[in-house]
Chains A and B, each alone.
Chain A
Amino acid sequence: MPFERYVEPGRVALVADGPLKGKLVSVVDVIDQTRALVDGPGSGVPRQQIRLNQLHLTKFRLSYPFTAPTRVVRKAWTDAKLTEKWAESQWSKNLANKEKRAAMTDYDRFKLTAARVKRNRARTAVFKSLKVKAARSGAFGKKKVPKTPAKKQRTKKTSAAKPAKK
């Protein structure tokens, strides 16, 4: 499968390392095999050169000619609604989740674990009851009729909604 993303004018990339880590930039020109001229008028990055191994290429591409001045890049950036689109992307959401996780305190981690336990218990209970039902109705071949009434599954109320963090 050929490459789908190239370092080319208009390519939007995420800076993965260095002082600009986490910022979105757009490639304006390719200086040589290791460096590119980038600009980020929508993310507060001044026009500068950056090493390519600091960049992670995204699927987004702005349309402007190479070596376009910042004002052109800015217009393309706003016209394409790049900041909004990036915020909607799964990649940025994952990054945000990671950040959230890293910022969690010990108590938060405990709360998360407790919520997960609650959720998993409820899920298991539902799954088991469905399984028993299916077995009785003959979904797994022969109809299975339990001699003794099926044990009631241990359930816990799922009162509190799952916390947003996951």
Chain B
Amino acid sequence: MAPPQPKAAAKAPAAPAGGVQKAKVGKPRNYDLGNGIVRFSKTKMFHKKAKYKFIGKKHPKAPKDKKPAVVVKPIGGEKNGGTRKVLLHRRKSFYPTQDKIRTRSHHKTFSKHVRRTRPSLTVGTVCILLAGRHAGKRVVLVGVLPSGLLLVTGPFAFNSCPLRRIPQRYVIGTSTKVDLSDFKLPAHLDDTYFKKNKKSTKRSVKRKEGEDIFVTKKEKYVPSEQRKADQKLVDEAVIKAIGKRSDKKILRGYLKSAFGLRSSQYPHRLHF
């Protein structure tokens, strides 16, 4: 590696003369493997960077010129010594007796996990629900939320499955796909939108005076106007996409019918 060195040395001074001065920034060879462990150990990097070359070599660093913390000021009066050192910056007025409680950033929390969706589950896929009260229904996949949950819809008019989140584990993706490429999911349909307000559904139903306190009272779930509007919006797009197909009649019947296994049908042997 001897010959290239003089060349580089010759080039280096030329660059600033050209006017464009760009600091050469190297890329780190080491990288995080994703679990807090780096690819190359300290020792390995020691060899890679050839740090052994520099051990023992003394590179006397140019001493930084210290910024003065004090200013010497002359003062009057005979017995006052003539000058005083005055601090440029005032000392702190508050010294904590306890360390601050710091919130640590956790390595991995569930909300930070990388979400991967099965390749068979693309937007527009007809899915078979396997769990929940709509189990067995064939529904259309509308999108995947940041939490990794799938957003599906019946459409509601076909099989009364509303816009609903479901984990991909509880779904079979079929090879039948509806073309939803023109459809864009409204941004407000996110995870918080679908989160159930547990307080309102469970316990805190206020009792009136004189009411039987042992009778558990439950509020019935009623979809809000907003939900109804969103359901309509999404379903319209899905139904429109179905209507464009040549086999729309059969596909409609398909979505309306429920999935089931017959004798000598085994899900691991079937194609979907």
**A residues neighboring B (CB under 8 Å):** 102-107, 110-111, 114
- A106 near B269 (CB under 8 angstroms)? no
**B residues neighboring A (CB under 8 Å):** 126, 128, 172, 174-176, 250-251, 253-254, 257, 259, 269-272
Inter-chain CA distance A80–B269, complex, in Å, is 37
- A111 near B176 (CB under 8 angstroms)? no
- B250 near A111 (CB under 8 angstroms)? yes
User: Which residues of B are found within 8 Å of A104, using beta-carbon distances?
Assistant: 271
Inter-chain CA distance A111–B246, complex, in Å, is 14
B263 to chain A, nearest CB (A): 14
User: Which residues of A are found within 8 Å of B272, using beta-carbon distances?
Assistant: 105-106
Q: Which of A102, A105, A106 neighbours the largest number of chain B CB atoms within 10 Å of its CB?
A: A106
- B257 near A106 (CB under 8 angstroms)? no
Which of A102, A103, A106, A114 is within 8 Å of B176, CB to CB? A106
User: Which residues of A are found within 8 Å of B251, using beta-carbon distances?
Assistant: 107
- From DSSP, what is the main secondary structure of chain A's interface residues? helix
- A110 near B271 (CB under 8 angstroms)? no
Inter-chain CA distance A105–B253, complex, in Å, is 16
User: Which residues of A are found within 8 Å of B259, using beta-carbon distances?
Assistant: 106
- A107 near B271 (CB under 8 angstroms)? no
- A106 near B128 (CB under 8 angstroms)? yes
Q: Which of B128, B269, B272 neighbours the largest number of chain A CB atoms within 10 Å of its CB?
A: B272
Give 13 new A-B contacts, CB below 8 A, not counting A102-B269, A106-B174, A111-B254.
A102-B271, A103-B271, A105-B174, A106-B175, A106-B259, A106-B270, A106-B272, A107-B174, A107-B175, A107-B176, A110-B250, A114-B250, A114-B253
Inter-chain CA distance A103–B250, complex, in Å, is 20
User: Which residues of B are found within 8 Å of A111, using beta-carbon distances?
Assistant: 250, 254
A-B contact pairs, 7 of them (CB 8 A): A103-B271, A105-B175, A106-B175, A106-B271, A107-B251, A110-B253, A110-B257
User: Which residues of B are found within 8 Å of A114, using beta-carbon distances?
Assistant: 250, 253
- A105 near B176 (CB under 8 angstroms)? yes
B246 to chain A, nearest CB (A): 12
User: Which residues of A are found within 8 Å of B250, using beta-carbon distances?
Assistant: 110-111, 114
- Chain A, Cβ-Cβ closest to B250: A111
Inter-chain CA distance A110–B254, complex, in Å, is 7
- A105 near B254 (CB under 8 angstroms)? no
User: Which residues of A are found within 8 Å of B254, using beta-carbon distances?
Assistant: 107, 110-111
B271 to chain A, nearest CB (A): 5
Inter-chain CA distance A111–B250, complex, in Å, is 7
Inter-chain CA distance A103–B172, complex, in Å, is 17
- Chain B, Cβ-Cβ closest to A110: B254
User: Which residues of A are found within 8 Å of B271, using beta-carbon distances?
Assistant: 102-106
Q: Which of A103, A104, A105, A107 neighbours the largest number of chain B CB atoms within 10 Å of its CB?
A: A107
Inter-chain CA distance A110–B262, complex, in Å, is 12
B22 to chain A, nearest CB (A): 58
Q: Which of A102, A103, A104, A105 neighbours the largest number of chain B CB atoms within 10 Å of its CB?
A: A105
- Chain A, Cβ-Cβ closest to B251: A107
User: Which residues of A are found within 8 Å of B270, using beta-carbon distances?
Assistant: 106
Inter-chain CA distance A102–B174, complex, in Å, is 15
Inter-chain CA distance A104–B254, complex, in Å, is 15
- B257 near A107 (CB under 8 angstroms)? no
User: Which residues of A are found within 8 Å of B176, using beta-carbon distances?
Assistant: 105-107
